[in-house]
Structure 1
Amino acid sequence: MSSRDVVLARVREALSDVSGAADEAPVEWTYGAPTAMDEPVLDRFVERVEDYRAVVERCGADEVPARVAAALAHYGATSLVRPPGLDDAWLTQLDGVEVIEDSALTPLQLNEIDAVVTACAVGVAETGTIVLDHADDQGRRALSLVPDIHVCVVAADQVVSDVPEAITRLGDAATSRRPMTFISGPSATSDIELSRVEGVHGPRTLHVIVTE
């Protein structure tokens, strides 16, 4: 007998006195419906995003330009790539930051740029995840992967409870050929000797501005 036969024989022997599978307990759940939480969805989202070592700040929509400028100044960014459909108002208070329009910049060119500012498609409270569907206000995927600093603006009404609700909210983008990027904190890995290394396959810094 092969090792596989031995293992399967032991499994059959162990199950020989089992009369049948137990009935599954009914679960009342509708795919895509909001999941009830013991705290407000937005509070859960902020808490979970911060758990990933991202910086999160909450503000009114009219404060976004000042918060974006302050974040870039804090990280010492002197250059910024912007998606073609980004809200112009968000960049009106920058000081000493070169704004570069994305015109099919190469990865090497993007690597020379300090930061990117994007909007988002959906925020997921349960997992602390930001989803980009790469619409015009988010730009192509390379913009959110190559620059070292990602400042992302998330509107409160874009935050949903869990992943199934997020996929439902994404709608056509979820079933189209357009790529989507799920971001849970700054890029990090601990594959080598369990030492955490940030910035390996994406931005080293994620700064999230939640507008209410």
Structure 2
Amino acid sequence: MTDAKGEILSRIRAALGSDETTAAPTVVPREYRSAGEHAPGSDVVLELLIDRLVDYKAEVHRATPAELPPLLARLAAPRPAERRGVVVPHGLDSAWLSAIDDADVRSDSRDAPLSAAELDGVDAVITAARVAVAETGTIVLDGEPDQGRRAISLVPDVHVCVVRTDQVVQTVPEAVRLLGAAPGRPLTWISGPSATSDIELERVEGVHGPRTLHVVLVS
């Protein structure tokens, strides 16, 4: 161990009131709030999420289960004349795709993954989500069958993400607690479409991910 690293760790132990000879584990105080004051899926929480998403330049839509299939068909075909198709994770609810021609749907799974070139050749990707955080405007995917591999949400130019309103929590700790139930899953945290800025703060979208993010809130 270098002297600098040893000094850092020594200061941490001192701040926590422990040292290398202490047998009992140190309890780290966690005094941050573990939940928001508003219930998941409440009107206040949904309004906050929508406000954050719009501020991030995501496009937000509200739909009932019956309205979802035609809405997804419209959002997933930004260039209807070309009809390059849409990719979906293999576990996505097939009822959601009932308004899309079967010939335009490409399924992706870990056992039969599409190549990066194939993913780049479709119009859009449609996924579900695991949880959404209102205060940060963040959608989290955790690799479940209805969300798929990380690559499918990163390569296509358009990402259409379906979020049930009861999946929207107010705070990050609430989301982390839910995600902690399956700690081995790969996580993708999405706050708006892909974007970056150069030294002059010129915003450029779609550099390392979807240029367009549609979030569909279903209730």
TM-score between the two structures when normalised by the length of structure 2: 0.77
Q: 2 CA distance for matches of 1:30 and 1:63?
A: 40
Q: Deviations over 1:17-48 (max 9, x none)?
A: xxxxxxxxxxx9664322459x7101111111
The equivalent position to 1:64 in structure 2, one of 64, 68, 74, is: 68
Q: CA 1:97 to 1:161, structure 2 compared with 1: closer, same or farther past 3 Å?
A: farther
**1:143 paired residue among 139, 152, 155:** 152
Q: What is the match of residue 41 of structure 1?
A: 45
Corresponding position of 2:93? 87
1:112-166 Cα deviation digits (max 9, x unpaired): 1121000000010001000000100000000000000000000000000011111
Matched, 1:116 2:125: yes
- Residue 100 of structure 1 corresponds to which residue in structure 2? 106
2:119 partner SS: helix
Cα distance, 1:96 vs structure 2? 8.8
The alpha-carbon deviation at position 66 of structure 1 amounts to 1.3
Q: Is the 8 A contact 1:35 1:162 kept in 2?
A: no
CA 75–125 in structure 1, closer or farther in 2 if over 3 Å, else same: farther
Contact 1:52 1:186 in 2 (8 A): yes
Change (3 A) 1:40 1:210: same
| Consecutive unaligned residues in structure 2, runs of 5 or more | 1-29
Describe the SS at the equivalent of 1:189. Answer: strand
CA 1:97–1:41 in 2, change beyond 3 Å: closer, same or farther?
A: farther
What letter corresponds to residue 195 of structure 1 in structure 2?
A: E
The answer as to whether partners of 2:76 and 2:123 remain within 8 angstroms in 1 is no
- After the TM superposition, which residues 1-212 of structure 1 pair with which residues of structure 2 at under 5 Å, given as runs? 31-36=33-38, 40-76=44-80, 78-94=84-100, 98-102=104-108, 103-173=112-182, 175-176=183-184, 178-212=185-219
Match of 2:51, as an amino acid?
A: E
Amino acid at match of 1:132: L
- Mapped contact 2:77–2:124 kept (Cα < 8 A): no
**Conserved 8 A contact 2:138-2:190:** yes
* Greater C-alpha Rg: 1
- Structure 1 residues 167, 75: closer, same or farther in 2, change over 3 A? farther
- The letter for the 2-side match of 1:185 is G
> Alignment length, in residue pairs?
182
Amino acid at match of 2:34: G
TM value normalised by structure 1: 0.79
CA RMSD of aligned residues (A): 2.1
Q: CA deviation at 1:70?
A: 1.8
Consecutive unaligned residues of structure 1, counting only runs of 5 or more, are 1-27
For 2:136, the aligned partner's letter is T
Distance in 1, matches of 2:95 and 2:105, equals 13
Instruction: Decide whether the 8 Å contact of 1:78 with 1:97 is kept in 2.
Output: no
Q: Following the alignment from structure 2 to structure 1, what is the Cα–Cα distance between the partners of residues 95 and 38?
A: 35
The structure-2 alpha-carbon separation of the partners of 1:108 and 1:78, relative to structure 1 and needing over 3 Å to count, comes to: closer
The one-letter amino acid of 2:177's match is T
